[in-house]
């Protein structure tokens, strides 16, 4: 279980704090992970989405380039 947030990272209230669990919690965790740049959290510098890696990965255009990148 986790506190429910909206798309602007505001807490959701329904007479009290709203909770989320199950699939909705996993969606929320993924949403937060993708919106947090890697290295932006002082206490967890390795947590977050690595946008530099993603842009390098997106520039590869063929399957052989992708395989070579991950094998080296």
pLDDT tens for 44-59 read: 999 998 888 877 777 7
Q: Tell me the pTM.
A: 0.60
Cα angle 27, 59, 57 (rounded to 5 degrees) comes to: 45
* Residue-wise pLDDT tens digits, 2-25: 677 777 867 788 777 788 788 888
Q: Which residues contact 69 (CB under 8 A, 6 or more apart)?
A: 56, 57, 60
The domain tally of the chain equals: 1
Domain span at residue 37 reads 2-71
């Amino acid at each position: 279980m986790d506190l429910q947030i909206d798309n602007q990272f505001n807490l959701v209230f329904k007479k009290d704090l709203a909770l989320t669990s199950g699939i909705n919690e996993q969606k929320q965790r993924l949403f937060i992970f993708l919106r947090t740049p890697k290295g932006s959290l002082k206490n967890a510098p390795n947590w977050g989405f690595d946008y530099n890696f993603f842009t390098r990965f997106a520039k590869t255009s063929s399957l052989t380039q992708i395989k070579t990148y991950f094998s080296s």
